Amino acid sequence: MAEQVLATLIDKSEIIKDVYHFKVKAEKIVNEAKPGNFIEIRVNENTEPFLRRPISIYNLDKEKGILEFIFQVKGKGTKILAEKQKGDLIDIIGPLGFGTFKLKDYKNILILGGGIGIFPLYELAKQAKKEGINVNTYLGFRNKEFVMLEEEFDKVSNKLTITTDDGSYKEKGFAIDFLEKDIEKQKIDCIYACGPLPMLKAIQKLANETKIECQISLEEKMGCGLGVCLGCAVKKANSPKDNPEYFHVCKGGPVFNSRDVEI
């Protein structure tokens, strides 16, 4: 059940240029949150910007009641958020999202993240490894300058592969190019992915071909995060062309079975 809280910012850092890592005290949200959930943040108490900003959950410290999220400054709202200082109160609604990641019955999972899409995958990898599941993680970045959280993901993965498009760090190419080879060698029973749309389309196609269960976390513009504004629609797979049906990412997702959506 979602809660609206005024969370105290207890720590912040800039992990690469214009990408910020915030830690806030938010026990009520942390107690209810699961991997794949997101939060909605009101960045300004004044009227502008009016809409809250949807941000994925990066890490949950349930013992201390600390919620961690990472975001990239992209516009006016996130710029205002990035200027918050330790001790400031942040208006947050969460946890939101129905389609959370599920780990039950899986023993050997594959996690695929691209760019800023890696953030919601960390809590999933952490919980999976804690439950004794074999975690194979593949993270792709544009170049060395954009590589983030390598050490953090290494600790929660049994195997970690880092790729850069230009080969400036670790493996050259796209992350999906390397996992295709490993799928043949390993008995992967589920894939989890979040990142750019071309990457998600490619992993959706691969999952269909290999008949491996696959869950994808979609990133759509959300005006409210509560299913009211209907601005985050995604077409249902095999929906009639003359009368298409839609999910709303904030309510039906943001995590979907890859077979269920047309992306």
pLDDT, tens only, 189-236: 999 999 999 999 999 999 999 999 999 999 766 555 555 666 678 888
In tens, the pLDDT along 76-113 reads 999 999 999 999 999 999 999 876 677 878 999 999 99
Could you give the count of Cα atoms lying within 13 Å of 119 in the half-sphere of its Cβ? Answer: 23
φ and ψ of 239, to 5 deg: -75, 140
pTM, two decimal places: 0.94
For 238, counting Cβ atoms within 10 Å of its Cβ (0-12 exposed, 13-18 middle, 19+ buried), the class is exposed
